A and B are shown apart, each in its own frame.
Chain A
Amino acid sequence: MDKLLENALKGDELSISRVLTKIEYMTDEGMKYLEELSKKAGNAHTIGITGIPGAGKSTLISSLIEEFSKRRNKKIGVVMIDPSSPISMGSFMGNRIRIQDKTMMNNVFIRSIASRGHLGGVSSEAIMLIEAMDGLGFNPIIVETVGAGQTDTEVVSSVHTITVVNVPGTGDEIQALKAGIMEIGDIYVINKAEYPEADVLYDEIKFAIDSGNWDGWKPLVLKVSALKKIGIKELVDAIEAHEKYLKESGKFTKKIDERRKKMIELIIRRKIDEKISEVINKEALDNWTDLLTIVNRIYDDVKKSL
Chain B
Amino acid sequence: MEKRIKVIIAKLGLDGHDRGAKVVARALKDAGMEVVYTGLRQTPSQIVKTAIQEDADVIGVSILSGAHLELIPPLINLMKENGLTDVGLIVGGVIPPQDVEKLKSMGVDEVFLPGSSLKEIVEKVKKVAEKKRGIKIGQTT
Contact = CB atoms under 8 A, between A and B. Distances in A.
B123 interface: no
Given A90-B35, A93-B36, A96-B38, A111 B28 contact: no
A96 B52 CA distance: 14
B29 A96 contact: no
A100 B38 contact: yes
A90 B38 contact: no
Contacts of B31: 88, 90
Contacts of A110: 53
A26 B1 contact: yes
Interface residues of B, number: 30
A85 B29 contact: yes
A88 B53 contact: no
A91 B36 CA distance: 8
B37 A93 contact: yes
Interface stretch (B42-50, B61-69, B70-78, B112-120): B42-50
Interface in B22-37: 25-26, 28-37
B4 interface: yes
Nearest to A112: B36
Nearest to A12: B83
A88 B3 contact: no
Contacts of A92: 25-26, 29, 35, 37
A305 to B, nearest CB: 15
Contacts of B84: 14
Interface residues of A, number: 32
Given A110-B53, A114-B4, A90 B37 contact: no
A21 interface: yes
Interface of B: 1, 3-4, 25-26, 28-39, 42, 45-46, 49-50, 52-55, 82-84, 141
Interface of A: 13-14, 17-18, 20-21, 25-27, 84-85, 87-94, 96-97, 100, 103-104, 109-112, 114, 116, 270, 274
24 contacts: A14-B52, A14-B84, A17-B55, A18-B55, A21-B55, A25-B141, A88-B29, A90-B4, A90-B29, A90-B31, A90-B34, A90-B35, A91-B29, A93-B35, A93-B37, A96-B39, A96-B50, A100-B46, A103-B46, A103-B49, A110-B53, A112-B36, A114-B4, A116-B1
